[in-house]
Amino acid sequence: MLVREAMSTVVLTIGPTHTLRQAAALMSARRVGAAVVYDPDAGGIGILTERDILVSVGLGQDPDTERAHAHTTTDVVFATPAWTVEEAARAMAHGGFRHLIVLDRGEAAGIVSVRDIIRCWAPERSRHEVPAVTS
């Protein structure tokens, strides 16, 4: 299966001066775990994830004053729509991250997450079937 079939095409793009609270509110409203941060002054495209926001808040930083640019990963590994989900999973495992921005002709066309890949690999389950929880 290819990344283009697994990725989410809902791409939230924010600017570098958004506060972490604004970013979190937008991410929550869109039900996404990452935002593309577009900052032409700092080299273009980066990513801000829910984990980046959690780390900041956990450190006691104020989400109303902290700006996205201070927490954005700019050394980003990008996928293409033609990658296989195996290639995407390998890149995530190697880099230790859970989201890949998918670029198509230099534009963010989507984001593929670990959750997207699991959906591709997990067998379909009945809507009424609940998996057993073991301790």
Please list the pLDDT of the chain residue by residue as tens digits (135 residues): 999 999 999 899 999 999 999 999 999 999 999 999 998 887 789 999 999 999 999 999 999 999 999 999 988 999 999 999 999 999 999 999 999 999 999 889 999 999 999 988 886 654 445 555 555
pLDDT value of residue 127: 46
Amino acid 15 reads: G
pLDDT value of residue 99: 96
Q: Would strands 44-49 and 13-14 be described as parallel, antiparallel, or unpaired? A: unpaired
CA dist 40 to 18, 27, 101, Å? Answer: 15, 21, 17
Q: Does this model's pTM top 0.75?
A: yes
Extended beta strands in 1-135, E state = 13-14, 34-39, 44-49, 78-79, 99-104, 107-113
> Looking up tokens 């039900």, which residue turns up?
31
pLDDT value of residue 84: 96
pLDDT value of residue 126: 46
Q: Domain segments of the chain: what residues?
A: 3-121
Q: What is the CATH number of domain 3-121?
A: 3.10.580.10
